[in-house]
Amino acid sequence: AQSVTQLDSHVSVSEGTPVLLRCNYSSSYSPSLFWYVQHPNKGLQLLLKYTSAATLVKGINGFEAEFKKSETSFHLTKPSAHMSDAAEYFCVVTGILTGGGNKLTFGTGTQLKVEL
Amino acid sequence: KAGVTQTPRYLIKTRGQQVTLSCSPISGHRSVSWYQQTPGQGLQFLFEYFSETQRNKGNFPGRFSGRQFSNSRSEMNVSTLELGDSALYLCASSFDPDTQYFGPGTRLTVL
């Protein structure tokens, strides 16, 4: 079974400062990991994904994440926060199901607040 | 390509009623998954359909069911609605077994 733990339920940063959203995962095999973002009253938008190629993954809107197997972490970062980044962020791990296909297991989410 | 679409976007029902939600996947995607999002339980997997067959199922009661049509469109049905079924229901499609792309969701309120 796989799981993810998002270490912070809320993160607050000032506009123009770096963003760090932390995620640890647990998986019995090499996982695929994702970060999704959800703006208020919207669906989930894919930010980036890791699928065992490069350990540093670049996503949309200036976000990136680094896969560290030794630390079982997949933290999301952005050098400079923008007001439009305020949203909820979900770290996600996939697991291959016995029937084929895959199922997403979500973290509990981190609410990012960006202040002027 | 058009994204995943879900209809309706908002629904209000009363306890005991049933409801049907619809999801149209991205063209060419054959896998459709459904998730329930609530403040208390977060995002939980309901089921996944592939080529008109339910391939996987989460831990939800039998009141939750679904189906998939030959054009990959999917419907989800909830019978005998309970207050606790109030949630955002999200549909996601994928070009199996790749990344899942989500629709905007259907907000269901049960009174």
**B35-60 pLDDT tens trace:** 999 999 999 999 999 999 998 899 99
* Average of per-residue pLDDT values in chain A: 91
Instruction: Flag whether residue B70 sits within 8 Å of chain A, measured between CB atoms.
Output: no
Contacts with B56 from chain A: Cβ below 8 Å: 97, 99-101, 103
Burial code of B33-44, b = ≥16 C-beta within 10 A, e = fewer? bbbbbeeeeebb
Contacts of A94 (CB under 8 A, 6+ apart): A2, A31, A32, A33, A34, A102, A103, A104, A105
pLDDT at A42: 85
Return the pLDDT at A90: 97
CB contact (8 A) between residue B99 and residue A46: yes
- 3-state class (DSSP) for residue A79: coil
- The first and second tokens of residue B82, run together, are 């309970």
Calpha distance B87→A9 (Å, rounded): 20
Pinpoint the alpha helices (H) of A1-116: none
A97 or A45: whose pLDDT is higher?
A: A45
Average pLDDT estimate for A87-101: 82
The phi, psi pair for B101, rounded to 5°, reads -115, 130
> Could you read off the pLDDT of A6-18 as tens digits, one per residue?
999 999 999 999 9
- In this prediction, residue B97 has a pLDDT band, given cuts at 50, 70 and 90, of low
Tell me, what's the pLDDT at A100? 67
Mean pLDDT over A19-38 rounds to 91
Q: Answer whether residue B25 shows pLDDT above 90.
A: yes
Contacts of A108 in chain B (CB under 8 A): 42
With pLDDT > 90 as the criterion, what percentage of chain A qualifies?
A: 72
Local confidence band at A68 (pLDDT 50, 70, 90 cut-offs): very high
A100 vs B100: CB contact, 8 Å cut-off? no
A94 vs B77, more confident? B77
Question: pLDDT tens digits for A78-89?
Answer: 999 999 999 999
